[in-house]
Amino acid sequence: MSDVTLPPSAEAPVLFEERVAGNGKRIGVATLNAPKTLNGLSLDMARLLDERLRAWAGDEAVALVVLQGAGEKAFCAGGDLHSLYRSMRDYEASGSGDVRNNAYASDFFSVEYCLDYLIHTYPKPILCWGHGIVMGGGIGLMAGASHRVVTERSRLAFPEITIGLYPDVGGSFLLHRVAEKAGIFLALTGAPLNSGDAIHAGLADVQLPAASRDHLDAALLLAAWSDDNQRNAHLLTEVLGRFAVPPTSGPLQDHRAAIASACAHGDLGMVVAAIQAMPGDDLWLVTARQTLDAGAPGSARLAFELQQRASHLSLADTFRLEYVVSLRCAAHGDFAEGIRALLIDKDRTPRWRPATLADATPTWVAPFFIAPWNAGEHPLRDLGNDTAPRNER
């Protein structure tokens, strides 16, 4: 929340605070505290969040949780790519042929996906203040919150095609459910969404003016929170409604018909060709085409195949499948090369393998879906055995 006194551990990667409402109930506040990296999610941050959210879930005095990012630029711009890059290079140098031997990547994706699923299934209301940049892993944190707030300065995107990955953190499940197959377009182009388009795509719930934040904080402290989670969820909806403004239509909606037509094809090559041939020369669409053209062909194939598979999977099964694919990407895909070109050498000239979409065939991608464990040994095997996420109830 804004204008709060931070505890002595102000340098911690995540700041935690409990604010006491007027009736004595408490509001748990978790602040991602890495503004210099746009609050990029590290393994330490994910572990701290998971531990505290579980503690708050069992604390009867805590009525709701607020999840936010430090600074004015971003809620969370994605995952900690530098640490993942180092782990991928170490794995490559080891000569290991077993994807499970990249210990950092194994831990990072496991902890991150379990945290994301915890948020999707959280028993208490979670208000996510999705102000500024919300990308990749940031969407993973925000997507499962019961109350997802965007502002006029919010920009949401899954830009993984530019770094040789794919929209993970449940993105295969989430994007498949965007109306009229627009999720395919978003995965292939990394196109950013403004607040109105984020709500249209089902990735956010309500728009509030950024300037209303202090007033919202005050209103939350005055609300009559109770021990009933469902009642508190309704009350939070009512409080947010006092400050909500109508979302403004964005380019995703402006190009809705053309995107639907382009993405209706069942063949990836036809979808890509149709996107490149879409009419219009506004900057958003031009940039989307350029991103698709320059992105990793293997990432395009992975994103396309995963959305097809997620069409009949639960969210928990989607996370389990994405975990396998992510470990494969960390071992054999373009992920390390994409990070090198963007963040390490910064030459922005990645050498993708496969180099063309024609080479990124279903046969090429098939090994990415092979689990390296025997049946019943998946590290996320217990995910979803207790509680179904909100969007499956």
Q: Is the pTM of this model over 0.85?
A: yes
Query: Residues 25-47: what's their mean pLDDT?
Result: 97
In a domain, 2, yes or no: no
Number of residues written out for the chain: 393
In a domain, 34, yes or no: yes
| CATH number reported for the structural domain that contains residue 337 in this entry | 3.90.226.10
In a domain, 7, yes or no: no
In a domain, 104, yes or no: yes
Query: Residues 356-367: what's their mean pLDDT?
Result: 97
Among all chains, which residue has been given the structure tokens 């960390």?
Answer: 330
Query: Residues 264-269: what's their mean pLDDT?
Result: 97
Query: Residues 207-215: what's their mean pLDDT?
Result: 98
In a domain, 369, yes or no: yes
In a domain, 5, yes or no: no
What tokens appear for 331 in the block? 């071992």
What's the pLDDT tens digit per position in 269-312? Answer: 999 999 999 999 999 999 999 999 999 999 999 999 999 999 99
Which pLDDT score is estimated for 10? 66
Question: 124: domain range?
Answer: 14-392
DSSP string, 103-147: HHHHHHHHHHHHHHHHHHT-SS-EEEEE-SEEETHHHHHHHT-SE
What's the pLDDT tens digit per position in 49-65? Answer: 999 999 999 999 999 99
The DSSP element (H or E) to which 170 belongs, if any, is none
Task: For the chain, give the mean pLDDT.
Answer: 95
Question: Does residue 48 have a pLDDT over 50?
Answer: yes
Give the contacts of 43 (CB within 8 A, at least 6 positions apart).
Answer: 80, 83, 104, 107, 108, 111, 112
Cα Rg for the chain, rounded, in angstroms? 21
Choice between 97 and 119, residue whose per-residue pLDDT is larger: 119
Q: Give the Cα separation of 139 and 141 in Å (integer).
A: 5
Which pLDDT score is estimated for 3? 42
DSSP string, 333-358: SSHHHHHIIIIIS-------SS-STT
Q: Give the Cα separation of 367 and 331 in Å (integer).
A: 12
The answer to whether the CB of 217 falls within 8 A of the CB of 2 is: yes
Number of domains forming the structure of the chain: 1
In a domain, 57, yes or no: yes
In a domain, 76, yes or no: yes
Q: Among 154, 160, 159, 163, which residue's Cα sits nearest to residue 133?
A: 154
The answer to whether the CB of 252 falls within 8 A of the CB of 197 is: yes
Quickly state the pLDDT bin for 6 (edges 50, 70, 90): very low
